[in-house]
Structure 1
């Protein structure tokens, strides 16, 4: 495993730590925006989930259901995006460490995929219970 150390050519992130106040909030928002953009550009699964959300959320808003049911229907859809972001982060981290095949790398990626499967199942169950 190759470990890179911080040098003049590869600065570390220590200079980004310790900021407070509105500046920190604005920087955090920028990092979040960059993460969303990276996921949308680089992850087909994330784009597919965005499209699914663009379909399901308006449907949830039009259905004759209670406010709590509507909120739950929308929340599980958004949860799928959150889990996909985390799954993509796991995959990127594993790939950053090494692209070689390793049982623990496979296990980490498979667990991220399993988490996404569970959330997609949650969407199906929640929507079915509310609508049927």
Structure 2
């Protein structure tokens, strides 16, 4: 249901999804960190599949990091639009958003170490 109480038609949903996917594609093309995070996630998921460990914690951690990176990019664009000149509050907003990505990434690293570490260690030490 939409906020006005009417249902969202499938065609409108697909149109909205297309706009969202355009945003993801733009961020992938323009943000090196997003590309690194995507490929780190692919690597982690490949390791999880190869080691036979649960995928769900890895998928959740990857989704969180990528979502926060998308929000960081959106916030940076809005701040640049609203404050083209340097401003201390613009710096705070951008730094805090980047900090959110850092915190999410460190959390994902912890999940990866907890889930993938023990089976990798067993594999490497025989």
- Residue number in structure 1 paired with 2:12: 24
For residues 8-29 of structure 1, what are the alpha-carbon distances to aligned partners after superposition, in whole Å with 9 as ceiling and x for unaligned?
xxxxxxxxxx993122101111
More helix by share: 2
- The answer (yes or no) to whether the contact 1:60–1:74 under 8 Å persists in 2 is no
Deviations 1:58-113 (A, max 9, x none): 11122233x3xx31122102211111000000001001112211111011101111
Aligned-pair Cα RMSD in Å: 1.7
Determine the C-alpha separation between the residues in 2 that align with 1:46 and 1:55: 14
What are structure 2's unaligned runs of at least 5 residues? 1-5, 119-126
Count of residues in correspondence between the two structures: 112
Paired residues of 2:68 and 2:100 also in contact (CA < 8 A): yes
Quick check: 113-122 or 74-83, which moved more? 74-83
Change in Cα spacing, 1:88 to 1:19, as seen in structure 2 (3 Å) is farther
Q: Select 1:117's aligned residue among 102, 106, 121.
A: 102
Deviation at 1:41, TM superposition (A): 1.3
Q: TM-score, normalised by structure 1?
A: 0.77
User: Where do 5+ consecutive residues of structure 1 fail to align?
Assistant: 1-17
